């Protein structure tokens, strides 16, 4: 396992590569299996595909909370490890798991009670609502099992271990992919459960991931198991939430913006919503390298921040940004060339194929710039500056992204909406680059005072 010492002393590029590659493998496996989920549901029909597309903004809200808590956990524990406070790091990990389970359970309960008005506000009609309920009722019931593997993996990443989290993600995704066709379409004595089957497959994969991560953390003695005094418990919760809540808020802005865009797309019909949902899932695959870096760069930043090595922080950030721009441009070329065949994998309706193809010809052009925004957000959190990450997210989504997409849609329809998304990423990435580099310089100067 990569140790706290190696993250603060070993050469930057080899260290980041060694941390990112296993995480990338795990995420590729997981995201591919999740895309399989959408593929099998698309075989049920366009209405079911539209239903699963409507669920994305809502389900991603809980996922965003889990991501935010994992970001707070990683930043707090990695800084403690960088400063050699090992007992503190173990206790922080224990409290983070408790905290994550409690908050996600509360939010899932609210979502379950408000399912119909919530999805109605997103533009879901009577035709798709039964399918949404079939999926989300089960999804909400098991959501607490979503957060445990995410926070537990954050504890491992904070210590520099990215190989194990990748294996757990891949294993959970494999379980989901194997169970999906069995439970959706049925086989032998197993009945065809349709949308419910897809949700049950996801739930079982969460159970597997939760059991594995808790057992591993206990075996490695990475989390404490003692009783914690209320005063200490609240103090640790505040420490995690000081970063975790703004990070969760920043992440929750994404599904909120996606919800607004989904509602805008609904004005163009069910085919547009279905196509947009497919595009969003293909985007998650296309940006896998960025997402992997956004998980491995923060522990590096936090540990070097804890050790007072700000020059290494800036070097790592700039190295990752340059790489992401080149990599994502290559991905854009592949998506643009394969747009129509990819679209035909998910639908045989001409209108759906046309909109998916337009998405792939336009939106991925700015994925490299979007990558810089994602890395900047995660690095701000790693520097314990969650407010800056939150403000950057607000600017990106609600000053640039949604307004420009809406304006583009008004002027040029679906094509104009996609162009607006590209322009928003160009403007936000420029701001993010200069803002973070200035923050690093300022933090370095403050540490020398």
Return the residue matching tokens 């809200």. 61
* Nearest C-alpha neighbor of 159 from the set 368, 33, 300: 300
Q: How far apart are CA 405 and CA 427, in angstroms?
A: 13
Residue 348 has pLDDT above 90, yes or no: no
pLDDT at 335: 93
Q: What is the mean pLDDT of residues 252-274?
A: 79
pLDDT at 428: 96
pLDDT at 449: 52
Bigger pLDDT: 250 vs 141: 141
Check if the beta carbon of residue 184 is closer than 8 Å to that of residue 40.
yes
* pLDDT range class, residue 172, cuts 50, 70, 90: confident
Return the residue matching tokens 């079939």. 134
Fill in the DSSP letter of residue 395. Answer: I
- 430-447 pLDDT tens trace: 999 999 999 998 887 776
Residue 33 has pLDDT above 70, yes or no: no
**27 pairs with which residues across the strands?**
none
Q: How far apart are CA 70 and CA 341, in angstroms?
A: 37
Instruction: Burial-class residue 171 by CB neighbours within 10 Å (0-12, 13-18, 19+).
Output: middle
How do the residues of the chain divide into helix, strand and coil, expressed in percent and rounded to 5? 85, 0, 15
Terminal-to-terminal C-alpha distance of the chain: 35
* pLDDT range class, residue 2, cuts 50, 70, 90: very low
Q: How far apart are CA 355 and CA 352, in angstroms?
A: 5
* pLDDT range class, residue 7, cuts 50, 70, 90: confident
Query: CA torsion angle for 380, 385, 391, 393 (degrees, to 10)?
Result: 30
Check if the beta carbon of residue 53 is closer than 8 Å to that of residue 359.
no
* pLDDT range class, residue 87, cuts 50, 70, 90: confident
Q: What is the chain's alpha carbon radius of gyration, rounded to the nearest angstrom? A: 21
The token pair at 305 is 């921040």
Q: What is the mean pLDDT of residues 150-160?
A: 83
Q: How far apart are CA 232 and CA 238, in angstroms?
A: 10
Check if the beta carbon of residue 139 is closer than 8 Å to that of residue 203.
yes
* Nearest C-alpha neighbor of 34 from the set 266, 263, 288: 288
Q: Where are the alpha helices (DSSP H) in 227-365?
A: 230-266, 270-286, 288-306, 310-337, 339-346, 350-362
Residue 302 has pLDDT above 60, yes or no: yes
Bigger pLDDT: 254 vs 211: 211
Q: How far apart are CA 29 and CA 327, in angstroms?
A: 19
Bigger pLDDT: 78 vs 110: 110
pLDDT at 4: 42
What's the whole-model pTM score?
Answer: 0.74
Q: How far apart are CA 92 and CA 73, in angstroms?
A: 7
pLDDT at 372: 96
pLDDT at 3: 44
Q: How far apart are CA 322 and CA 326, in angstroms?
A: 7
């Amino acid at each position: 396992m990569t140790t706290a010492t190696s993250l603060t002393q070993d050469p930057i590029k080899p260290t980041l590569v060694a941390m990112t590659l296993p995480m990338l493998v795990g995420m590729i496996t997981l995201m591919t299996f999740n895309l399989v989920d959408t593929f099998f549901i698309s075989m049920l029909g366009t209405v079911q595909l539209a239903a699963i597309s409507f669920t994305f903004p809502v389900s991603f809200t809980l996922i965003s909370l889990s991501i935010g808590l994992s970001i707070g956990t990683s930043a707090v524990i990695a800084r403690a490890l960088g400063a050699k406070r090992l007992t503190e790091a173990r206790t922080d990990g224990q409290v983070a798991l408790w905290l994550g389970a409690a908050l996600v359970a509360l939010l899932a309960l609210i979502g379950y009670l408000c399912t119909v008005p919530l999805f109605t506000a997103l533009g879901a009609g009577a035709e798709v609502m039964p399918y949404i309920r079939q999926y989300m009722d089960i999804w909400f019931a098991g959501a607490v099992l979503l957060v445990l593997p995410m926070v537990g993996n954050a504890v491992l990443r904070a210590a520099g271990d990215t190989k194990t989290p990748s294996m757990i993600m891949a294993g959970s995704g494999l379980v989901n992919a194997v169970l999906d066709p069995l439970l959706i379409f049925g086989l032998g004595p197993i009945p065809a459960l349709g949308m419910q089957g897809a949700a049950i497959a996801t739930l079982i994969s969460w159970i597997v991931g939760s059991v594995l991560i808790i057992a591993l953390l206990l075996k490695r003695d990475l989390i404490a198991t003692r009783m914690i005094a209320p005063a200490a418990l609240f103090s640790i919760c505040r420490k995690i939430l000081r970063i975790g809540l703004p990070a969760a808020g920043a992440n929750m802005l994404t599904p909120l913006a996606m919800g607004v865009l989904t509602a805008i797309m609904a004005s163009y019909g069910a085919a547009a919503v279905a196509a947009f949902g497919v595009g969003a899932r293909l985007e998650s695959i296309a940006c896998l390298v960025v997402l992997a870096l956004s998980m491995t760069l923060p522990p590096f930043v936090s540990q070097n921040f804890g050790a007072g090595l700000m020059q290494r922080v800036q070097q790592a950030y700039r190295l990752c940004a340059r790489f992401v721009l080149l990599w994502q441009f290559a991905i854009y070329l592949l998506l643009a060339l394969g747009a129509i065949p990819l679209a035909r994998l998910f639908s045989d309706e001409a209108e759906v194929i046309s909109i998916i193809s337009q998405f792939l010809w336009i939106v991925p052009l700015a994925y490299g710039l979007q990558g810089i925004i994602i890395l900047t957000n995660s690095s701000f959190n790693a520097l314990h500056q969650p407010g800056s990450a939150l403000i950057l997210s607000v600017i990106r989504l609600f000053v640039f992204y949604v307004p420009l997409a809406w304006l583009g849609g008004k002027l040029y329809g679906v094509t104009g909406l996609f162009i607006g998304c590209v322009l928003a990423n160009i403007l936000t990435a420029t701001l993010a680059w200069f803002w973070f580099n200035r923050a690093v310089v300022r933090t370095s100067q403050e540490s020398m005072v």
